[in-house]
Amino acid sequence: EVQLVESGGGLVQPGGSLRLSCAASGFTVSSNYMSWVRQAPGKGLEWVSVIYSGGSTYYADSVKGRFTISRDNSKNTLYLQMNSLRAEDTAVYYCARDPPGTGVFDYWGQGTLVTVSS
């Protein structure tokens, strides 16, 4: 059974850092494209970043230069390192699987809440 479990969210001050984790089971992270998608309170969905099976990484303009996506193949886990956090980064962050080349998010985690506030 495919499962994605996020962790690492919490309250952080503006300018601070946080690292989110997404532990996968039932499939191999490194064989898929994996994305982070976020949702601000009461708002819609916003794609944040993707890491390809080959290791290439891409980011939304809103987080470029501040966030870094990575994975640990030995732990079958996806990460999102978030630096220089701003109030507008407050959101539930979801990890999602995207079978290579499809552009389809077929499995999602339950989400982890990040709150940026002083």
Partner 1 sequence: DIQMTQSPSSLSASVGDRVTITCQASQDISNYLNWYQQKPGKAPKLLIYDASNLETGVPSRFSGSGSGTDFTFTISSLQPEDIATYYCQQYDNLPPLFTFGPGTKVDIK
Residues that bind partner 1 (CB under 8 A): 35, 37, 44-47, 50, 52, 58, 60, 94, 101-106, 108-111
Nearer to partner 1, 11 or 45 (CB): 45
Nearer to partner 1, 79 or 94 (CB): 94
Q: How far is the CB of 13 from partner 1 (least distance, A)?
A: 26
Nearer to partner 1, 17 or 88 (CB): 88
Q: How far is the CB of 21 from partner 1 (least distance, A)?
A: 16
Q: How far is the CB of 45 from partner 1 (least distance, A)?
A: 4
What is the DSSP code string of the chain?
--EEEEE--EEE-TT--EEEEEEEESS-GGGSEEEEEEE-TTS-EEEEEEE-TTS-EEE-TTTTTTEEEEEETTTTEEEEEE-S--GGG-EEEEEEEE-TTS----EE---EEEEE--
Nearer to partner 1, 27 or 52 (CB): 52
Q: How far is the CB of 10 from partner 1 (least distance, A)?
A: 18
* Residue of 24, 36, 27, 41 lying closest to 88 (CA atoms): 41
